[in-house]
A and B are shown apart, each in its own frame.
Chain A
């Protein structure tokens, strides 16, 4: 079997993979990047391209304020050390992007990147930096980092499993689809930068097809601890129909403006003052209404932005949305028609899987931890692959920063770890690792083809029903039972191993990972007997709320051949701080309510000023 030797292997080529690889290479390591999709064609590329940079728009902003926002809006569930590192590094991570040539809009007086003048939902300060071409600007910067000639990469490469020897990670097995063969990559440090599992919920997802939970499954099979796997972020405003557009994102809470409301199928307002609310809160309102039988035939509700068009302020609102998030309106136009894209009609929306806040448990340096909380030598994770940074709700615009911040940290740590020189494994060790990793594929090898895709489709259907945005104990258990039978079906799957780009083999690799993640999500969700996060527990809410507060750890048990879960105690923020945050949120909501109830002419003047400021800044500087 083909063998490739490097110091550092990075799996994934989005923001976290690019930052990890470029950083490790700059520090002297020989780096290989593996990517399933073409290089830099990742969720970073298709994002809105809006990134949290602390202090970019407000002199009163601080690292403490950002860290507090993240912890409080995520139900105080996040790991404090991870949040602190994030808050410290957000500016530095933007500097990394500038070095890679991101098309930035820097303020001529302060030199800092220009941010949206409105704080996104859950942020106490405006600090979300937008970009002319959205995620494409980030993708071009990542492309520069990956094509600078300082590192190697392979596309069409499915990383399958890690090799471990004497506790250390020594590399892993990869399927090279363009060559139609397996290969071993020998590297003493491996950075998993291939997070995301939203494809488990296809077609109710707005992310790349490659989101098959590879990072979590690969890490768990190698003994890493996963954390808060039940915390799947369902973005509230996504298309319910038609199927071509199903699941695609059409708005953030902030897009709802001051006067946008959510209505049930009968037109009754179920939530207002959306702009200041978190994604989780908006999703919950829709899910509850649907569960009560007040949803649309497609299981959604209506996002009604029509009132925003009133008056002089209305013109500014429309111009602002058109200017800042044109991609979202393009989706609305394609899916719901031109009138909807002009805010003249309400949009039928339904939550869609967007992000996994759980993931691999790591140190603030990105080192993966095992079930005893010990570092697994040579294994790192960055970006969406890691868990514990966002608790139960990820604030808008934090994911791009997370990718670069933790990509840099993991790249730095990996380069330092390999610098001393680490002995290569013996030929026998390697052979043993290879045969272990290949066993599942050799069992499946057969001349008689049998597709794996139907198993994936059955899993996706069941996951949306049981592990989706609305959950009950019975529903979760039913999906776990289905997962069990699908695992048996996958174990019996047979397909030919040869050929270039073997789709059955690719589906097999991804299905195995999806099944493991689904089990981790299901068992973690069952363990946490309360409604917490971007999903809603629809059963016995009064009883559920009395449960204790903490994180849910999960890991793969080789002996039991299943995911086992445990409690992870968590430090809570001081009571005074929690009360203050609730008070501030209450005041903001009150102010938003007050504005809505002002006489029309007053309201129009207030909102005109708000939207005009948000727009005018752009015009004055361009």
Chain B
């Protein structure tokens, strides 16, 4: 049975609460009271559990997830081929753009991948031209989405039976 340290740090009640807070967060005056009633807990205990999950780094934030497109923004996925000795410098330069929300090193000749959200295609083009000109960048590939089949970033614990 493979079980890593991170998942064993979260107990069953916490997993139930995480499921609830991800998909059924009550947008109302007392959201934690609503959660508490569903969990058969007190509101104080729920708030305490949320604080704890946040300080453990399990909860990144509680807030809204917005659609870039619906807000009039444009976003894309970009791959770079970067000379190995330049990868950290290039990564840090890329991460300094506020519109870069994700940046990962991956095991391929396209070894650096990032997502870029911009106010319009012209701004996007300008930023990509700047990145393409960074020392160490050998190739830049833009992969704008042609069609979205799914975008649902939440992690379900409900099929989890481990304690």
**A and B from one complex:** no
